[in-house]
Structure formats: C-alpha cells, structure tokens
Structure 1
Amino acid sequence: MKKTVVLYPGLAVSHFVPMMRLADALLDEGYAVMVALIDATMEHDARFAATVRRRIASSSSTPAALTFHTLPRIHDPPAVHTDERFLLGYFELVRRYNNGLLELLRSMPPGSIRALVVDALSNEAIDVAKEMGVPAYTFFAWSASAVAVFLQLFSSAHVLNGLPNFKELRDSPLNLLGVPPIPASHLIREMLEDPNGEIYQAWMSSQGKNLEANGMLVNTFVSLEARALGALKDSQFLPGNKFTLPPVYAVGPLVEGPGGETKQKNDHACLAWLHKQPEHSVVFLSFGSIGCHTEDQIKEIAVGLERSGHRFLWVVRAPSHGSTITLGADSDPDLDALLPEGFLERTNGHGLVVKEWAPQVDVLRHKAIGAFVTHCGWNSVQEAIMAGVPMLCWPLYAEQKMNKVFMVEEFGVGVEVVGWQQGFVKAEEVEAKITLVLESQEGERLRARVRALKEAAAMAWNEEGGSSRTAFGHFLLDVTA
C-alpha cells in the first residue's frame, strides 16, 4: 500500500506554489501525494486559478503518485472580501469545507494516510485530522521570524490575560525572542484592530490552532534565519509555559524554479530585452500578484526612474483608488494615461514597462538584473536571494512590513524605501535609493551579502548534510514513526 501525504494548500499563489514544491520533495522520497483543493476563490483570482490549472496539467506527465481532488462546492459559501474582514471570511470558508475534506480522507484506503499538511491559514482542518486519527502538520509560507512574532504575541496574550491595543502603541518597538525590535505599527492589520473585536480574536485563535499540530513546516533555511529558528527551539520561547511548541522543520527555500511560469508574448519580450542589457545594470520593479499603487504614486515612480538614468524593467498594474493597496482581479492598465506624458518615448531603449505580470523567477536570475524593488512578499524575498539580487524594500500589505524589518535589520539584503510609511514615496527617494544600490559601496556590501546567502540557499537542500534536507528527513522520520 502506497504511503500517502495529503496536502491542503492555501487559497493564493504565494501559498500554493511553495506547497507544490513540498509535493515534489515528497514524490522524490517515494510518497504518494494527494492535493485537496478549494476552488471557491479561483473565479475571483485569475492568476491563482491559472497557477492551479497549470500544475494540474503538468501532473498528467507525472507518475500517478501525484493526484488532485477538488472538494465539492458548499452551498452558499461565505464571501471573502479584500477589506479588513478578509480573514474572517477566509477562516469561515475553510471551516465550512471541513466536511468535504473529511469525506475525502475517509474515501482513501485505510491506513494509507501518513499525514495531513495544511496551510497555516487553513488550520481549521487540523480538527479533520484529529477525527481521522492522522498526524496534522501546518505549513507556513511566511518567514520563521514572522512565525516567532505571531506565536509569542499569542502566548503573551494568555499569560497577561489580554494584550494592549497595538494600534495605540504606534511605532513603539516590540522586543521579542529571535527577531530585531518590531515597531507595533508594522504588525499585520488584523492585530491593529480592537483587541476585543472579532477580527483580532479570530487571528489570535488561528495562531493558537497552529500549536495543536504535530509539527510546523516553515519555508525558510537556517543560514537565513538562524536566530528566529533558534528561538523557536528555545524551551523559554513561549512565556508562562502554558503552551507547548510542536517541532519546527525549516524546509526552504521552496520557490518556483526557472521556467516554471507560463510564458506569454510580452514576457518573452521582456526576457529578450534583458538579453541586450549590460550585466547588473537593470533595476526590476514588481509588487506581487495582487499589489498595486494609486495613479499619483505610479506617476511619481516614473519620474524617479527617469531621473535616475538607470535601466529598468517595471511591472505596472492597474491603479488602486483612494488607497495605497488594493486586492482584486486583474485588469488591463492604460499605460498612456497612467504614465507621464512622453515617458515611454523618452525612456525607450533603457527602460521597459510591462503590464500586470512578468516571469519573476526568470527575470531575477537574468544576469542583467542589478536590483529589485519589491513589496517584501516572502516568496519574492527568497526568489531574489536565490538569484543573488539586493532589494529595495517597499512593503504593502499582510506581514510585509515585518519582513522589511527582517530584510534590512537582520538579513542585510535590502534597504528601506521609507516613504511608504507616509503612504507616498517621492520621486527623489526612488532616484536616490536606486542609485545607492546600483552605484555605492553600501550597494556592493548588500550585493556581497545576498550572494553569500545565495550560496547558502543552494546548499540547504544539498544531499550531503544540507540543513533543509536534514530537517525534511527528520519530518519524514516523524511521519513514519
């Protein structure tokens, strides 16, 4: 009977892709992998839907050990809005699908399921594993540093019988084990809500749920986050000893490989354009699959790029309205209306603007790229490190403000674009920070640090004692125990 691990990925590209890399690692070790899918959000997220379809299609050429199962749609699913109530809808959606997941597991051959691995935001499914009597593991598509912050604050809330209102603390630093001081204002928006409100309480409850797992898989590697991972193994990590931390396995970096993204005509064009540029001369600007700026901010970026005189490749999404960031479906930006008059003509030859999306992994690993302006999403951070590219940190949403702190203060792989804190980055700063990274000695120091981490990332999955390979082996031993 084939030993099987069931994977239950999160409902976003940034959570789905690394878990599929985990699937590949399991297949390499001889496991069968069943991927259980919720498709309720795919109609609202075109890129997520395309990513899932592409992976399912590719599995047709894979041995039958990899299978996908879409859970039956529930009646009248809860809405998952993109405002501050996002996670409430998300958690309720996952909770409502527990019955479908339970029926799937019951339909599988008795004794075949060795473990259920669930995305950390889908941890309501841990209850399904308990009912089935199979081990449950959570998978974090975040940094170990973010995990350390969230779990310590959850535990402290119970020790102190309630936490202060983080929003009122503003930029006061939070001093926690394993991480540099974090301004309270940099926490995720759910933690800046009223501590007695349902949004804050739902987030805290979710963090506690992760502690019920048999173990926690984190998409990171020891050389990058040694301090945070050390803290997660410290017996004094959770204050008050009221909670027990399950084993932590650092199994990253699990990111999309070169050539793994769909190529479209414009994407081929951007790579062809890069072939013509000098080595390390191009700054790449991309803010994730769901992040976008206001029209005024887009124009300001354009002015800064033009003034810098440096070569650039810029992914532009349709603008948000009235806020710095919006989450939603793809739309086609009108570049002529968005960009300053004559900008495309004046920068023709040393700059290229593409709409909506570019094959980021292939772009970052191109020899022409010298810097990366990023929203600090964890996948993007690791992709840049694996390409040896220093970063300009411009966080937008989720835990990205925290990642910015880790990237600048702990990892030493980027510089902060500070204007984001006032909600608007001026052209002067865009120009100055690009010049700093591409031309200054500080930029050279950043480049050297990232290149060292690039080598460490490559070694993490090395069969001869790589840290992530070893951690993955320990996970498999625990699963089969």
Structure 2
Amino acid sequence: MITLFISEKVVKTFILIIMKDTIVLYSAIGRGHIFSVVELGKLILTHNPSFSITILIPTPPNTATVDTTTFGCDSSITFRHITISPPPSGTSPFHLVRYGNHNLHQVLQSISKTTKIKAVVLDFMNYTANEVTTTLDIPTFYYYTSGAASLSVLLYYKTIIESKKREQCNYIEIPGFPRILKEELPSYPEELENIFLDLVATMSECNGIIINTFNALEGKTIKALQEGSCFPDESNPAPIFCIGPVMSLPGGEKDENGCLSWLESQPSQSVVLLSFGSLGRFSKTQLTEIAIGLEKSEQRFLWVVRSESDEDSLEDLLPEGFLDRTKEKGMVVRNWAPQVKVLSHDSVGGFVTHCGWNSVLEAIGEGVPMVAWPLYAEQHLNKIALVKEMKIVLALKETENGIVSATELGDRVKELMDSEKGREIRERVLKMKESSVEARSEGGSSYVELNRLIQLWKEKDHLSLLSPNTPLLSNFSG
C-alpha cells in the first residue's frame, strides 16, 4: 500500500485550477450607482463570458433589500447583500459602508471557498471597504461612476484647496479641466474636504481606476489622467481604464404613467423632457417658476415632478389652471417616468437634466441635446465640462437665492428646441452618439481598454482568501 502525502499548498493550487474566476463588484447605495454597477457587470461578461460576476449591495438598517430580479441578469451574475450596522447619527455617505466591513470580510471569505476572486471593484463611494480588501490582499480597483472631468477635480483636490487660499489667484488651473474662476467651483464643508483627501489617497494607491467615459467625449481630460497630471503627489499613480459609456438600454422599464402612449401622439423631436433624478426635488416656488416658464416657451413637454412633499397633488403644487391650459402640449407625471425609453422615443427632441452622469450618457446615447440644471454632488462640475469643453448643453442661470426664473427656463428651452444654436448642439450630440457606439465596438477605445483590464485580471492569482487560518477582522465597526 502506497500513501501519498500532498502539501497544503499543492491542494490549494489544484483547487484554484478548477475554480471559476470571479470579479466582485461592490455597489454604493443609490439607484443610479446600483444600475451602473450592474451594467458594468454585464459589459465585463460580454468581453469574457468565462468570468462569473458577484455584485454586492450594501443594505443599511431599516432599508428594504433591492429587488435584483428587475435587472435582467443571467446566471453568471449573482447578488449578495451586505448588511450595514446602525451607524452614528450624521455619518457621511462615504463612510456608511465601513459599518458593514465586518460582514464584507465574511462574505468575501465565503465567496472564495467556491471561486477564485481575481479582483474586487469598489464603487468610489465605498472607498472605506478598501480596509477589508487590503487586509485580505485582494487586487482592488475603483469604479468611478461619473465622468473623467469631475474625477480630475477630485484627484487634484489638495492642490485646489491650496490654490483657493492664494488671494492673488482668480482662476484655478486643473489638468484636463476647463479653466475656471474660483467661485465657479462648488464649496464644501471642511469635513467633506477631508473625506475627499482621504478618498484620493486611497484611490491613488489602488490597482486601477475604471471610469464610465470614452475618449471622444473627454479626450483631453483622459489624457491628463493617464499621464498622471491629476495625481500631483504620486510618482506612480494608479492606471486608468476608460470603458464607457456604461448605461442602461431601453428595456424592462414599466410605463406606469402612460408617458410612451402620450409620446406616440406627438410630432418627431418636438417634446422636451424635464427630469431631475431620484433626489431632484423642488419647492412649490420653484415648481411654479418651471410651470410658468414651460407655458411661455410654447414648446411641447413631458415633465417629471418631484416635490419636497410627496403628499401634495399636482393641482396643489402647480399654478391654478396650468394642467388644463397645457394639456394639448404637455404631460406632467408624478415622481417617475421610464427615462431611457422616453429619451429613445422619436418624439423627444430635448432634455432639461440635473447633469447626473447616467442621465447625460443616456441622452448622448440617443442623440438628445440638453439644458443643464445641476442640483448637487458633482453635477456642477459635469455642467462646466459639458458647457465649456464638450459644448453639448445649454446652461441655465440661477438667481442669487438659487431659483431658476420662469423667464430663464422658458428662454433656454425655446433656444434648445427652436434656434440655430440649439440645432448646432443637436448636431454635436448626434456625432457624439456615433462616437459612443464606435468606442464600445470592436477596436474602439473603450473596447481596447476593457480588454486591457480583463487581461490584467486574468494574469492575477489570489491565494490568501483560501487559507483556513485567515482571521476575521475584529477591529471593523459594526
């Protein structure tokens, strides 16, 4: 009788050979972030079907789990929910997932028992999860769900803070970003500025940054990022992979409010869509200005209304008689419309948008020109790049109290839909639509970059998670 003694290392190596390679994607909280991460997972599989994708979704206390069956994913994409322990009051959204790091650690160990984790891709909002992936020695990448322009500002933020303190300097020069006045940059509280600096330090040391953009749209900024100009303190900055546009295609959205049926009765490219994202809520005063402006513009419109109170009816929120006076030319719906399907409809010829990056890419993907009305987060930076560099939007001006007047909105909508400048913007957006398709087609810039990223993942092997002696991390909050 012959007894074979096989070392633990040999056993692990054999297990790795027969396991399927997995990429783990960790989404941030929020509909826009989750959808973008899901579409990224689908895109990865189109280039390498041999991978499996596991998408992690953070679930804070007293929050319903996301219904993942609505995403239309096949069996190569699986979902796991990461429970977030109750955080202290006032915790920043950037730090929220830290209170799920203990659970993240356990989930990654569980996944590694049946598959080879080639990399973890963190939504940039989840940067504190790096504390887990670094400890477990997993190759860690960041997915920046917005565009290259706002990322260049974020990465350069330490230098920007120093520049803003120099009184003799009116302008701020940021590599790859349009030259701007100091006051054009959004102001943030010191606590958030410190978070940005911490985030940048973490991102700079990761294995790579994936950006949802493409060369034809942001070539100047992408070049600055790839050359390392936006990493002033790094001699060897993280590599950049621009693989966009990553966006949802017209598909499973339900038309609960009858928007598409109404659009069928409208002339080609005659309707302007007004939609401001899930967080784009307005006061009654601002809603009144929008209504008056739309009526004065004499343009057809589809308006998705979100207000500060969900209890008020449209009749309570809008000027008396507005709905009756505009019923031949306009449709107003409460809270939601199937935006991707609406933008793809032949009747839609313009879009008043909050400049959320998903919405911008969806409009470009359908060749729809835009009016920019940024509201929060990086949207103001997106607007600057869209207006000054890409030249595919018209910009709205706010009054000193932050209100967009009826006259301003009406004039910009009319200009977009019925002027020579509006036609020029439409032509540029249509060309950008063609470029977006080319970027993701075989041989295109984003196609090449995604293949480069996948090849990098294929070359990486990861053994540490398979060790039965890897301890759970007791120092993580939650």
Q: Tell whether the structures are fold-level matches, with TM greater than 0.5.
A: yes
The residue aligned with 1:7 is 25
Q: Deviations over 1:102-148 (max 9, x none)?
A: 11111223570000000001011122222222210000011101111
User: What is the rounded CA distance, in whole Å, between the counterparts of 2:94 and 2:400 in structure 1?
Assistant: 29
Are the counterparts in 2 of residues 304 and 431 from structure 1 also a CA contact under 8 Å? yes
The residue aligned with 1:259 is 251
The residue aligned with 1:93 is 96
SS at match of 2:20: coil
The residue aligned with 1:117 is 121
The residue aligned with 2:52 is 32
The residue aligned with 1:193 is 189
Residues 58, 306 of structure 1: CA spacing in aligned structure 2 closer, same or farther, 3 A cutoff?
closer
Q: Does 1:62 align with 2:111?
A: no
Residues 39, 169 of structure 1: CA spacing in aligned structure 2 closer, same or farther, 3 A cutoff?
farther
Q: Deviations over 1:25-57 (max 9, x none)?
A: 2233121111122111773xx8xx6xx31x345
SS at match of 1:207: helix
Q: Partner letter of residue 290 of structure 1? A: L
Offset at residue 284 of structure 1 (A): 0.8
Are the counterparts in 1 of residues 289 and 406 from structure 2 also a CA contact under 8 Å? yes
SS at match of 2:142: strand
Residues 291, 233 of structure 1: CA spacing in aligned structure 2 closer, same or farther, 3 A cutoff?
same
User: What is the rounded CA distance, in whole Å, between the counterparts of 1:229 and 1:476 in structure 2?
Assistant: 20
Are the counterparts in 2 of residues 299 and 339 from structure 1 also a CA contact under 8 Å? yes
Q: Does 1:468 align with 2:454?
A: no
Offset at residue 422 of structure 1 (A): 4.6
Are the counterparts in 1 of residues 272 and 351 from structure 2 also a CA contact under 8 Å? yes
The residue aligned with 1:85 is none
Residues 237, 431 of structure 1: CA spacing in aligned structure 2 closer, same or farther, 3 A cutoff?
closer
Offset at residue 231 of structure 1 (A): 0.3
Are the counterparts in 2 of residues 171 and 185 from structure 1 also a CA contact under 8 Å? no
- Point out where structure 1 has 5 or more consecutive residues left out of the alignment: 82-87, 321-330
Residues 419, 57 of structure 1: CA spacing in aligned structure 2 closer, same or farther, 3 A cutoff?
closer
Q: In the TM superposition, what are the counterparts of 1:409-428 in structure 2 within 5 Å?
A: 409-419=388-398, 422-428=401-407
Offset at residue 460 of structure 1 (A): 1.4
User: What is the rounded CA distance, in whole Å, between the counterparts of 1:41 and 1:254 in structure 2?
Assistant: 30
Q: Does 1:278 align with 2:274?
A: no
Offset at residue 420 of structure 1 (A): 5.8
Task: Give the one of 279, 288, 293 matched to 1:299.
Answer: 288
Q: Does 1:184 align with 2:182?
A: yes
Are the counterparts in 1 of residues 268 and 347 from structure 2 also a CA contact under 8 Å? yes
Residues 41, 258 of structure 1: CA spacing in aligned structure 2 closer, same or farther, 3 A cutoff?
farther
The residue aligned with 2:157 is 153
Are the counterparts in 1 of residues 175 and 229 from structure 2 also a CA contact under 8 Å? no
Q: Partner letter of residue 445 of structure 2? A: S
Q: Partner letter of residue 193 of structure 1? A: P
The residue aligned with 2:415 is 436
- Report % sequence identity: 36
Q: Deviations over 1:375-423 (max 9, x none)?
A: 1111111111111111111111101111111111111111101126651
Q: Partner letter of residue 230 of structure 1? A: K
The residue aligned with 1:480 is 458
Task: Give the one of 22, 25, 32 matched to 2:40.
Answer: 22
Are the counterparts in 2 of residues 10 and 121 from structure 1 also a CA contact under 8 Å? yes
Q: Does 1:163 align with 2:162?
A: yes
Give TM-score, length-normalised by structure 2: 0.87
Offset at residue 430 of structure 1 (A): 1.4
Q: Paired residues, what number?
A: 438
Higher relative contact order (Cα pairs below 8 Å, separated by 6+ residues): 2
The residue aligned with 1:328 is none
Residues 95, 451 of structure 1: CA spacing in aligned structure 2 closer, same or farther, 3 A cutoff?
same
User: What is the rounded CA distance, in whole Å, between the counterparts of 1:236 and 1:8 in structure 2?
Assistant: 28
Offset at residue 219 of structure 1 (A): 0.5
Task: Give the one of 290, 303, 318 matched to 1:339.
Answer: 318
The residue aligned with 1:78 is 88
Are the counterparts in 2 of residues 317 and 333 from structure 1 also a CA contact under 8 Å? no
User: What is the rounded CA distance, in whole Å, between the counterparts of 1:354 and 1:170 in structure 2?
Assistant: 49
The residue aligned with 1:356 is 335
SS at match of 2:368: coil
User: What is the rounded CA distance, in whole Å, between the counterparts of 1:421 and 1:126 in structure 2?
Assistant: 41
User: What is the rounded CA distance, in whole Å, between the counterparts of 2:368 and 2:62 in structure 1?
Assistant: 32
User: What is the rounded CA distance, in whole Å, between the counterparts of 1:133 and 1:406 in structure 2?
Assistant: 37
RMSD over equivalenced CA pairs, Å: 2.2
Residues 200, 170 of structure 1: CA spacing in aligned structure 2 closer, same or farther, 3 A cutoff?
farther
The residue aligned with 1:102 is 105
User: What is the rounded CA distance, in whole Å, between the counterparts of 1:271 and 1:219 in structure 2?
Assistant: 28
Give TM-score, length-normalised by structure 1: 0.86
Are the counterparts in 1 of residues 154 and 196 from structure 2 also a CA contact under 8 Å? no
Q: Partner letter of residue 220 of structure 2? A: R
Residues 181, 355 of structure 1: CA spacing in aligned structure 2 closer, same or farther, 3 A cutoff?
same
User: What is the rounded CA distance, in whole Å, between the counterparts of 1:402 and 1:223 in structure 2?
Assistant: 19
Q: Does 1:249 align with 2:222?
A: no
Residues 475, 246 of structure 1: CA spacing in aligned structure 2 closer, same or farther, 3 A cutoff?
same
Task: Give the one of 132, 141, 144 matched to 1:140.
Answer: 144
Residues 359, 377 of structure 1: CA spacing in aligned structure 2 closer, same or farther, 3 A cutoff?
same
SS at match of 2:295: helix
